[in-house]
Amino acid sequence: MKKTKMRMQSPSDRINNFDEVELGFNSSEALTEANRCLQCASPRCVKGCPVNIEIPKFIKEIKEGNIEKAYEIIKNSSSLPAVCGRVCPQEKQCEGMCVKGIKGEAIAIGALERYVADYALKNNYTSVLNIEKSNKKIAIVGSGPAGLTCAGELAKNGYSVTIYEVLHEAGGVLTYGIPEFRLPKEIVKKEIDSLINLGVEIKTDVPVGNAITISDLQKEYDYVFLAQGAGLPKFMNIPGEEGNEVFSANEILTRINLMKAYKRDSKTPIKSSKKAYVIGGGNVAMDAVRSLKRLGIEAHLMYRRSEEELPARKVEIEHAKEEGIIFDLLSNPKRILLDENNNVIGMEVVDMELSEVIDGRRSVNEIVGSEHTVDCDMVVMALGTSPNHEAVKHSNIEINDKGLIVVEELKTSLNNVYAGGDAVTGSATVILAMEAGKKAAKRIMEE
């Protein structure tokens, strides 16, 4: 029996809106899919999950129609199930380990998780908890997936948690980065509201490092968890990058998602364009290029390696193709061409070829003499980020040569200060940040 496919908006419809692409399972689809699960005695899927959700157990509850029970099981391990069900790279984690996947298709674990979480949010399930209040106060810097998860875990255990967020809305990358069509902001808001219901306080508009320092937080709180995320968008350092229509993917996504620039009556503008190139091959690149397509732009994705090496989630690549994103693979910009007004008019690009594998990654070389120009009026850099030290700038926290915060078992060089997520690892995924948030909470509770 094959994997149950999720219903989706058709590509021709969805390129004209920002509504969610995947529509989720209904109860009979969820049941059909749950029934495919073999309920392994020694489940590999759980090991593949960074937060070790007891996957067979919750699937068993779906089979038996106990969705509320299934939700409790997931919630025991994950603070943001409706988010993870949508954005985790399941093919590399739980589903990648699923026994069924060896000969056929893995169980659609992500889709089932999403089904349970959405059902719970829709029916306002609140996990009934008898919280015993602890007198410990924790400050968390950043309200992205790491911070929210840590907050949820601690609040469930009675700790008093305050999150500091520099933006006007909580959620970090879930709010400013991942587009509506992949992760509706309504869902993010509900997940955050459920944490607020647990007693978590979120202070928005606070630039930690400027308005309040780490040492202030150390004085005021028993523990501090730094989860400020990845930081500054990288550029290529090629000529022409100062062009007016050269943007970071973060800027495009922030304008669209956080500031709602995709709406006609939005007060925040987004640059109009006829033909745009997004440079990069990760999830952020995919989010940016698919967002631009929805604004009616001829949207290209330029990546220097081949399709096989694209780091993005597989399903996003498939969706992007269906939506008519043009993939310019094995290509790389050499410079951006500008007119006298600093407006982008094209790019000089060079073809690339794959060579040997170094440190587990395919290296690439330019093909000499293959330089040619392409027309375009917008270039978007989605090349990852370099660390942002704003939050920790007045502290003497130990930073490594890559600029990342040094931790041992999530503990930093500062007293009672922990750190996790992208601030420690560099740009990674939502679920890995959540794993760090969960571990940090555990470490703090063990103290």
Partner 1 sequence: MYKVIYNKRINTNSFEMLVEAPMVVKKFIPGQFAIVMAKSDSEKIPLTIYDCDKEKGLLYLIYQVVGASTLELSYVTDSIYSVTGPLGVPSEICTNVEDYKDKRIVYVGGGVGIAPVYPQVKYLKEHGINVDVIYGCRNKDLMIIKDKIEEVCSNVEYTTDDGSFGEKGFVTNILERNVNKYDICVAIGPVIMMKNVCILTKKYNLKTIVSMNPIMVDGSGMCGACRCLIDGKPKFACIHGPEFDGHKVDFDSALKRMNTYKEEEKNKFDQMEVLLNEKN
User: Which residues lie near partner 1 (CB under 8 A)?
Assistant: 166-168, 176, 203-207, 210-212, 231-233, 235, 237, 241-242, 244-245, 247-248, 250-251, 254-255, 258-260, 265-272, 341-342, 388, 390
Burial 281-320 (b: 16+ CB within 10 A, else e): bbbbbbbbbbbbbbbebbbbbbbbbbeeebbbbebbbebb
Closest CB 145 distance from partner 1, rounded Å: 15
- The CB-of-246 to partner 1 minimum distance in angstroms stands at 9
End-to-end CA distance of the chain: 49
Q: Least distance to partner 1 from the beta carbon of 280, Å?
A: 14
Question: Which CB, 167 or 428, lies closer to partner 1?
Answer: 167
Q: Which is nearer to partner 1, 27 or 210 (CB)?
A: 210
Amino acid at the residue 305: R
What are the distances in angstroms from CA 312 to CA 146, 154, 386?
Answer: 20, 32, 19
The helix/strand/coil state of 408 is strand
Nearer to partner 1, 309 or 390 (CB): 390
Distances (CA, A) of 80 to 178, 239, 364, 435: 15, 42, 38, 11
Q: In whole angstroms, what is the distance from residue 58 CA to residue 46 CA?
A: 11
Question: 342 or 373: whose CB is closer to partner 1?
Answer: 342
CB of 213 to partner 1, least distance (A): 8
Q: Are 409 and 442 in contact (CB under 8 A)?
A: no
Sole residue written with tokens 């990674």: 428
- Cα dihedral 119, 127, 440, 404 sign: positive
The nearest distance, CB 417 to partner 1, in angstroms, is 19
Nearer to partner 1, 20 or 245 (CB): 245
Give 222's Cβ-side CA count (13 Å radius).
13
**Tally of CB atoms within 10 A around 15:** 19
Distance of CA 138 to the CA centre of its chain: 24
Q: Which is nearer to partner 1, 35 or 210 (CB)?
A: 210
- Least Å from the CB of residue 338 to partner 1: 9
Q: What is the 3-state secondary structure (H, E, C) of 43-75?
A: CHHHHHCCCCCCHHHHHHHHHCCCHHHHHHHHH
Q: How far is the CB of 272 from partner 1 (least distance, A)?
A: 7
Based on CB atoms, which residue is closest to partner 1, 24 or 231?
231
Residue indicated by tokens 């948690």: 161
Beta carbons of 336 and 246 less than 8 angstroms apart:
yes
The residue among 210 and 373 lying less far from partner 1, judged by its C-beta, is 210
Looking at the Cβ atoms of 272 and 370, the one nearer to partner 1 is: 272
Minimum CB distance to partner 1, residue 339 (Å): 10
Q: How far is the CB of 206 from partner 1 (least distance, A)?
A: 6
Nearest residue (CB) to partner 1, 4 versus 273: 273
CA-closest candidate to residue 440, choices 48, 196, 147: 147
Shortest separation between residue 379's beta carbon and partner 1, angstroms: 13
